[in-house]
């Protein structure tokens, strides 16, 4: 489930869906969708096969097909625009194409990633930033796109899951020496009613002690979306894992802890990876 995060958190998403009566079938290929009755509200039969070749049949009123995203470049190609990663329009950091006075932005263009270089990562937040830069430069400006980290969050019933930066295998493929450590923290002081546990996965570079990515899973009231933004800010500005503990973040028992959950995650990474700063292990208790 949800392959954009590690399997440990994907299992949490799976469990949340199952808890709300959703049957989840993974490793299953849809072979056909057949209308079994006539009429506008006719029932549909979905025929599928499992990885072992077994037949799987389910009935439904609606079938939603999620086919992913592909860049729409027809007009640009006809005009002579060069393409880049995954067939997206190649642009520089000013969002300029190879065509004179032609700029492009959004889901049709490549993404300049702060850790990976050029990739393709269509996100609404990225498109807005690119569009603002393209518009300003079209009017004579000189703005640069600072780069994306792929920060994203999704709500799954009463839970939320978020990620930013790189996962372990992505970091390794990019030439880093990654270590990924799992940990947990409370969203606020546990003695105050209504606290929730947050599952954390922190990825850092063993050689430099630099954070490369973070994943969070927790209750929708645990401010998962804003907490992943702390990690994204640290990675964006090339902070060290140890330096995250120096951030002066807010605290009051109903809303947080003296050590913010993200800081607890990076401190756990420091201890487990052997790169903890002096005093960090004591301070994180």
Tens of pLDDT, residue by residue, the chain (285 residues): 899 999 999 999 999 999 999 999 988 999 999 987 665 566 899 999 988 889 999 999 999 998 889 999 999 999 999 999 999 999 999 999 999 999 999 999 999 999 999 999 999 999 999 999 999 999 999 999 999 999 999 999 999 999 999 999 999 999 999 999 999 999 999 999 999 999 999 999 999 999 999 999 999 999 999 999 999 999 999 999 999 999 999 999 999 999 999 999 999 999 998 766 544 443 332
Q: Are residues 55 and 80 in the same domain?
A: no
For residue 261, tell me if it sits in a domain.
yes
The CATH number that applies at residue 279 is: 3.50.50.60
For residue 147, tell me if it sits in a domain.
no
Per the structure, the complete domain to which residue 49 belongs is given by: 7-60
The number of distinct structural domains making up the chain is: 3
Q: For residue 210, what is the DSSP state?
A: -
**Angstrom distance (rounded) from CA 251 to CA 255:** 7
**Angstrom distance (rounded) from CA 113 to CA 93:** 10
Q: Are residues 46 and 158 in the same domain?
A: no
Q: Are residues 217 and 114 in the same domain?
A: no
Q: Are residues 121 and 219 in the same domain?
A: no
Q: Are residues 56 and 86 in the same domain?
A: no
Q: Are residues 272 and 164 in the same domain?
A: yes
Q: Are residues 187 and 238 in the same domain?
A: yes
Kindly report the CA angle at 265 between 179 and 240, in degrees rounded to 5? 65
Helix (H) or strand (E) holding 32: strand 28-35
Note the pLDDT of residue 280: 43
Neighbours of 50 (CB within 10 A): 13
Q: Are residues 31 and 105 in the same domain?
A: no
Q: What is the pTM of this model?
A: 0.89
């Amino acid at each position: 489930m949800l392959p954009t995060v590690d399997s440990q958190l994907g299992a949490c998403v799976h469990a949340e869906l199952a808890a709300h009566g959703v049957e989840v079938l993974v490793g299953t290929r849809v072979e056909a969708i057949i209308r079994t009755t006539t009429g506008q509200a006719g029932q549909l039969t979905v025929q599928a096969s499992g990885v072992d070749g077994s037949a799987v049949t389910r009935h439904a009123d609606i079938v939603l097909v999620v086919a992913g995203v592909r860049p729409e470049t027809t007009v640009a190609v006809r005009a002579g625009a060069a393409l880049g990663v995954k067939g997206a329009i190649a642009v520089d950091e000013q969002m300029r194409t190879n065509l004179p006075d032609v700029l492009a932005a959004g889901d049709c263009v490549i993404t300049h990633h702060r850790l990976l270089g050029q990739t393709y990562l269509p996100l609404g937040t990225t498109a807005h930033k690119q569009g603002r830069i393209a518009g300003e430069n079209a009017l004579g400006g000189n703005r640069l796109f600072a780069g994306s980290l792929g920060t994203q969050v999704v709500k799954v019933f009463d839970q939320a899951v978020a990620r930013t930066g790189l996962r372990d295998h992505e970091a390794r493929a990019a030439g880093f020496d990654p270590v990924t450590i799992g940990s947990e923290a409370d969203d606020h002081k546990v003695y105050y009613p209504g606290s929730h546990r947050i599952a954390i996965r922190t990825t850092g570079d063993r050689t430099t002690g630099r954070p490369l990515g973070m994943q969070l899973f927790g209750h929708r009231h645990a401010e998962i979306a804003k907490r992943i933004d702390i990690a994204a800010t640290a990675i964006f500005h090339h902070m060290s894992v140890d330096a995250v503990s120096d951030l002066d973040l807010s605290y009051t028992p109903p809303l947080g802890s003296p050590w913010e959950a993200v800081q607890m995650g990076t401190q756990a990474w420091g201890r487990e990876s052997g790169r903890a700063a002096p005093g960090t292990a004591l301070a994180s208790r």
